[in-house]
């Protein structure tokens, strides 16, 4: 259990851990590339540790020293391995795509939460490329056997970077051209990194094409994760002033800033620069009175992981808010429509779950209380923000799940671990 007392104010400068999505991709793709690469500011959270373990099982050599990873790729993956993806949907979905064209058998397994998440959404499109991928009643374990892949055009019915990436990573082993078109553009780290590693990639709006390609290793300096920074940005808006440094601001990830514009959050994006094909900047957020808003439509995929936190912030707003078009929240590490509403209500707010999002009746302040994490890192970290900004503070049950994406979250918040 983690006790969190309310705070008078919260101010500071923060250097957040590396981006989870980019770290996964840097490890996986370099493991499949010729040569050796160094990944700096890599995230060593549990999800990325799962990716490293899977890639080692496939034959890659990966040394980890703090936040620096040295990855030596292999020409041919080892066959017949069990690849334990732990809690990580990104590991399981991307890796299924990557191994499906590599001429090997593999079985991908996960923990209890991951084993409930939908895998047919990757098995089906990969099957259209000719892959031999079988999910178990639509879930893990996922079995992959050797197959010759043939590129074709695939329209996905969900804007999911994990599904898009699985198809593109299979596409680099398929003959011809593999094209994915998604209803709304999801995060685009895979296509950016594939292109930087020498794959033939073309992008036109929501359509991405890739040809059969050999990858060359690529050193990656990982920007800080905007999803991890968002908790500190929220505390700036609710309780004082925060500066988050070197944050990845790829436009497919900055939906939270567009939400901030509507909510009345005062922030500045400073020192914007480019590093290794990804944009980064420092984000300054200052205490702001928040107003109720409507969020939905095409912007949702670019703030999908931040929605529990945004909903929590809106519980502190003046007025009613509505979040729509976020059905995908139901198939994350927990059913985040249910668990976000429960977290906010336990803190004394008023959040009504709907079929595709929430209605939040802002109360300007929350009393605090005891909240379960539901073993979902994003719920635990959002609850921590809510408690710090509440009238009387409270407790988080099962807080250890933060280590999935942010191992020293509570230390960085300055509340220690109990």
Catalytic residue among 305, 355, 356, 372: 305
* CB of 304 vs ligand S3P, minimal distance in Å: 5
Residues 243-282 touching ligand S3P, rule: CB under 6 A, are: none
160 makes contact with ligand S3P (CB under 6 A): yes
- 305 is an active site residue: yes
Whether 266 and 285 have beta carbons less than 8 Å apart is answered as yes
Q: Name the residue nearer to ligand S3P (CB basis): 161 or 309.
A: 161
For ligand S3P (CB under 6 A), the number of binding residues is 12
By rule CB under 6 A, what string of x and - marks binding of each residue 321-350 to ligand S3P?
-------x----------------------
Q: Under DSSP, is residue 222 helix (H, G, I), strand (E, B) or coil? A: coil
In the set 44, 161, 174, 329, which binds ligand S3P (CB under 6 A)?
161
The verdict on 122 binding ligand S3P (CB under 6 A) reads no
Buried b (16+ CB within 10 A) or exposed e, 106-143: bbbbbbebbeebbbebbbebbeebbbbbebeeebbbbb
Can you give the C-alpha Rg of the chain in angstroms? Answer: 21
Contact mark string toward ligand S3P, 74..103, x via CB under 6 A: ----------------x-------------
**With CB under 6 A as the contact rule, which of the stretches 48-56, 160-168, 201-209, 241-249 interacts with ligand S3P?**
160-168
> Could you tell me which stretch among 68-76, 98-106, 158-166, 385-393 binds ligand S3P (CB under 6 A)?
158-166
What is the three-class DSSP state of 236? helix
Closest of 324, 255, 243, 307 to residue 281, by C-alpha: 243
Alpha carbon dihedral 72, 73, 79, 80, in 10-degree steps, equals 50
| Closest residue by beta carbon to ligand S3P | 21
Does 162 sit near ligand S3P (CB under 6 A)? yes
- Among 66-74, 157-165, 192-200, 307-315, which window interacts with ligand S3P (CB under 6 A)? 157-165
Site map for ligand S3P, 6-25, x if CB under 6 A?
Answer: ---------------x--x-
In the complex, the smallest distance separating the C-beta of residue 189 from ligand S3P, rounded to whole angstroms, is 7
Environment class of 152 (CB within 10 Å of its CB; exposed 0-12, middle 13-18, buried 19+): middle
Give the nearest distance from C-beta 206 to ligand S3P in angstroms.
Answer: 14
Residues 367-406 that bind ligand S3P (CB under 6 A): none
Number of H helices and E strands in the chain, helices first, is 12, 23
Give me the least distance between CB of 16 and ligand S3P, in Å please: 16
CA distance 279 to 214: 25
**Least distance from ligand S3P to the Cβ atom of residue 222, Å:** 13
Verify binding: residue 304, ligand S3P, rule CB under 6 A. yes
**What residues between 14 and 73 interact with ligand S3P by CB under 6 A?**
21, 24
Distances (CA, A) of 121 to 86, 94, 129, 193: 19, 12, 14, 23
**Beta strand pairing call for 132-136 and 139-145:** antiparallel
Cα–Cα distance for residue pair 159/235, rounded to 1 Å: 29
| Binders in 186-215 for ligand S3P, by CB under 6 A | 186-187
> Beta strand pairing status for 177-181 and 153-155?
parallel
User: 184 vs 345, which CB is nearer to ligand S3P?
Assistant: 184
- Whole-angstrom distance, CA of residue 386 vs CA of residue 301: 23
Residues 177, 299: Cα–Cα separation, whole Å: 29
Do the strands 358-363 and 318-323 form a parallel or antiparallel pair, or are they unpaired? Answer: antiparallel
Which residue ranges make up the site for ligand S3P (CB under 6 A)? 21, 24, 90, 160-162, 165, 186-187, 304-305, 328
Residues carrying an active site annotation: 305
């Amino acid at each position: 259990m983690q006790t969190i007392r309310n705070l008078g104010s919260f101010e500071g400068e923060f250097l957040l851990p590396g981006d989870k999505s980019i770290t996964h991709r840097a490890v996986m793709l370099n493991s499949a590339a010729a040569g050796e690469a160094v990944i700096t500011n890599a995230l060593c959270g549990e999800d990325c540790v799962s990716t490293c373990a899977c890639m080692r099982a496939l034959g890659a050599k990966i040394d980890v020293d703090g936040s620096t990873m040295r990855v030596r790729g292999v020409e041919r993956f080892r066959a017949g391995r069990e690849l334990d993806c732990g809690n990580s949907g990104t590991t399981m979905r991307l890796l299924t795509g990557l191994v499906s064209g590599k001429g090997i058998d593999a079985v991908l397994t996960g923990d209890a939460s991951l084993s409930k998440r939908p895998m047919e959404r990757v098995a089906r499109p990969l099957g259209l490329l000719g892959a031999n991928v079988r999910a178990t009643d639509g879930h893990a374990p996922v079995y992959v056997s050797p197959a010759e892949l043939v590129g074709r055009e695939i329209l996905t019915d969900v804007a999911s970077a994990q599904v898009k990436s699985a198809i593109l990573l299979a596409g680099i082993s398929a003959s011809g051209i593999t094209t994915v078109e998604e209803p709304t553009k999801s995060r685009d780290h895979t296509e950016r990194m594939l292109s930087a590693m020498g794959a033939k990639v073309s992008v036109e709006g929501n359509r991405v094409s890739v040809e059969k390609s050999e990858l060359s290793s690529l050193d990656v300096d990982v920007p800080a994760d905007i999803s991890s920074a968002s908790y500190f940005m929220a505390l700036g808006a609710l309780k004082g002033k925060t500066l988050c440094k070197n944050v990845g601001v790829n436009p497919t990830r900055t939906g939270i800033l567009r939400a901030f514009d509507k909510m009345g959050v005062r922030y500045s994006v400073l020192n914007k620069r480019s590093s290794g094909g990804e944009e980064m900047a420092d984000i300054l957020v200052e205490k702001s009175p928040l107003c109720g808003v409507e969020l939905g439509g095409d912007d949702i995929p670019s703030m999908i992981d931040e929605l529990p936190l945004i909903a929590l912030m809106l519980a502190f707003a003046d007025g009613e808010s509505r979040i729509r078009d976020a059905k995908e929240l139901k198939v994350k590490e927990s059913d985040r429509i249910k668990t976000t509403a429960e977290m906010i209500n336990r803190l004394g707010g008023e959040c009504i779950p709907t079929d595709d999002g929430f209605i939040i009746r802002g109360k300007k302040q929350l009393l605090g209380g005891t909240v379960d994490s539901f073993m979902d890192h994003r719920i635990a970290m959002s609850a921590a923000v809510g408690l710090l900004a509440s009238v009387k503070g409270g407790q988080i049950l099962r807080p250890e799940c933060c280590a999935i994406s942010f191992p020293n979250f509570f230390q960085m918040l300055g509340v220690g671990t109990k």
